Amino acid sequence: MQGTFIGSVKLVFAALIIAVLGACGPNQEDASESGSSVMAEPEKVYRWKLITTWPKNLPGLGTGPERLAEKLRLMSRGRLDIKVYGAGELVGPFEVFDAVSQGTAEMGHGAAYYWRGKIPIAAMFSTVPFGMNAQEMNGWLAYGGGMELWRELYEPFGLIPFAAGNTGVQMAGWFNKEINSLSDLEGVKMRIPGLGGEVLKRAGGIPVALPGSEVFTSLQTGVIDATEWVGPYNDLAFALHTVAKYYYYPGWHEPGPTLEAIVNKSAWESLPEDLQVMIEVASRSVNDDMLSEFTARNNAALRTLVDEHGVELRRLPDDVIAALKSASQDVVAEAASTDELSQRIYDSYMAFLADVRAYHEISEQVYVNIR
């Protein structure tokens, strides 16, 4: 009797526990609703193509877009998955602007002076002969109104530009004959892009437009007599010392060449805001990183060229520099005269240059001279 009573009590107690748990937990309908709210939708992955004007994985220039893609993959936790194509793998090196504009690829990496035939003033967003160095270009673009003008210039083409690399002041280039006077430039066929090419033409030379992948062979076979490329770090990688004897400085034509990342506007607008911000941040990171890499590597590469390979390092004569500087003033001013926006870009650039130069004359320049 007592055992039966105890057994009944246990059954009642167990039933109460089940009832309480049932009251506290969700019913079938609630569980279904709860499950739909807890299980988040998988995050969308954007798979993009990034095409470049540079040979695949070329130190500095070619690795820059690779680093950009990798940074974005990590920052986005794989939501922005970008495959990088070197020059010629998907489109030709000089076709990058049009291909991104048309949506063949969502992103590109190159230099604005390559599009000078399409947009003459675009070169000012890369480099200007005897113009701003890398530090000054960064200042103009970020805080002097340059970036706003750059985006306004590319707007009709459905492109959004970002500064995404800089080599610092380059070398004047490789020559197969000595340049002792201005007359020595007469008839020299030289690979040199942008406004610098037009300046060389005014000085008697013959500018030739070539992508980086064709520079070595063209110099080796005599298609060109001289070439500028970048500086010791990249020039050593291209083995240009094996096809030219004289290495001239200073790089009057490219004192602070900004490289660009361009994004197709429709692709950009398809991204959520956080991914857009990541592209801005990653581009700025790569812009800084590339300049740091060239600063760290150039002098060691120059020592290798001179000490191990017997390269003859020469400075351009003063009269040559003076003539090139004079011609560059006319060339740049003429590029600005084509339309109202070009004139505004020119005016903004020149005003910032004058302002920053005034301060640098008593700061950066004096310090470099006295140290």
Structural domains in the chain, sorted by start:
46-169+256-295 (3.40.190.170)
What does DSSP assign to residue 317?
A: P
Q: What is the pLDDT of residue 258?
A: 98
pLDDT digits (tens, 9 = 90+) for 340-366: 999 999 999 999 999 999 999 999 999
Q: For residues 185 and 204, is the Cβ–Cβ distance under 8 A?
A: yes
Q: Where are the beta strands (DSSP E) in the chain?
A: 46-52, 80-85, 107-110, 159-166, 173-175, 189-191, 206-208, 226-227, 246-249, 258-264, 312-315
What does DSSP assign to residue 121?
A: G
Counting residues of the chain whose pLDDT is more than 70, the rounded percentage is 89
Task: Output the six-digit token pair for 54.
Answer: 């540079």
Q: What is the pLDDT of residue 57?
A: 87
pLDDT digits (tens, 9 = 90+) for 281-324: 999 999 999 999 999 999 999 999 999 999 999 999 999 999 99
Higher pLDDT, 40 or 9: 40
Mean pLDDT of 21-28: 42
pLDDT digits (tens, 9 = 90+) for 5-22: 344 434 434 433 333 334
Q: What is the pLDDT of residue 42?
A: 77
Confidence of residue 1 (pLDDT cuts 50, 70, 90): very low
Q: What is the pLDDT of residue 12?
A: 37
- Average pLDDT of every residue of the chain: 91
Q: What is the pLDDT of residue 40?
A: 56
Confidence of residue 133 (pLDDT cuts 50, 70, 90): very high
Q: Who's near 233: CB < 8 A, 6+ residues apart? A: 59, 60, 293, 294, 297, 298, 301
The β-bridge partners of 262 are 108, 161
Q: How long is the chain?
A: 371
pLDDT digits (tens, 9 = 90+) for 95-127: 999 999 999 999 999 999 999 999 999 999 999
Mean pLDDT of 236-244: 96
Mean pLDDT of 71-87: 98
| Spatial distance between the Cα atoms of 52 and 108, rounded to a whole number of angstroms | 6
Q: What is the pLDDT of residue 39?
A: 54
Counting residues of the chain whose pLDDT is more than 90, the rounded percentage is 88
Mean pLDDT of 18-33: 41
List, edge to edge, every strand of the sheet that includes 80-85.
80-85, 46-52, 107-110, 258-264, 159-166
Task: Output the six-digit token pair for 118.
Answer: 């399409």
Mean pLDDT of 150-179: 98
